[in-house]
A = this chain, B = another copy of it.
Amino acid sequence: MSTETRRPAEKKLTRKGQETRRRIVAAAAQLMYERGVTEATLEDVRAAAGVSGSQIYHYFADKQALLLAVIEHQTEAVLGMQESLFADLDSMAGLRRWRDALVEYQRRLQCRGGCPIGSLGSEVAETNPEARLAVASGFLRWETAIRDGLRAMHARGELDGDPDDLALATLAALQGGLLLTQIQREVRPLEVALDSMLDHIESRVKRP
């Protein structure tokens, strides 16, 4: 169950090989996002990636190894998409812009799909310890990004209360809002959850 066992072709990867591997992960990520991990068959992934036969097993030991790659891929995708907004999370204006972007993104998706990381996490949490830890690590990075902003505000003396707690609570509000939005197919839960949390933060901001 070592890493080498799980990723047979990690050592040497041709440029073409890297590209093929990338296509497989991207296709798998999309399908697992749309249908869930267990409902996304490797045959579907194969077809969507435009590869054939044993390609997947050339790059991944088994479906589990592919899943772990997908979790990392989705973490990068989700955090990457917010990267430019993370820089401004040290002000209420920046927090509100971040909130608006998240809401607008869900609206564009017609409230479908939920959080790419959270959905994976919920599915694997009780049956797949390794995958659960990978998701936990993704959430930790997300939490850290929010925390950095609030800590900066706190360090400047603009924010009362524990910035670490507020960051974790904000991530929780976001996840809960996304889940309810996904299930109700309305953006309101996400809007209200984030607004309440940001209002709470603002109530602890000392106007200079």
Contacts and interface: CB of A to CB of B under 8 A. Distances in A.
Contact of A119 (B122, B168, B176, B180): B122
Contacts of A113: 126
B123 A179 contact: no
Contact of A183 (B112, B125, B188, B200): B125
A180 B168 contact: yes
A166 B87 CA distance: 29
Contact of A165 (B39, B119, B168, B192): B192
A172 interface: yes
Given A112-B126, A127-B36, A197-B196, A180 B171 contact: yes
A14 interface: no
A32 to B, nearest CB: 11
Contacts of A118: 122, 179
Copies in the complex: 2
A187 to B, nearest CB: 12
B171 A173 contact: no
A98 interface: no
B180 A172 contact: yes
Nearest to A169: B196
A68 B185 CA distance: 19
B200 A196 contact: yes
Interface of A: 34-36, 38-39, 112-114, 118-119, 121-123, 125-127, 132, 135-136, 139, 165-166, 168-169, 171-177, 179-180, 182-184, 188-190, 192-193, 195-197, 199-200, 203
22 contacts: A35-B126, A36-B123, A36-B126, A112-B126, A114-B126, A121-B183, A122-B122, A122-B182, A132-B183, A139-B183, A165-B196, A168-B192, A168-B193, A169-B173, A171-B180, A172-B173, A172-B189, A172-B190, A172-B192, A172-B193, A175-B179, A196-B200
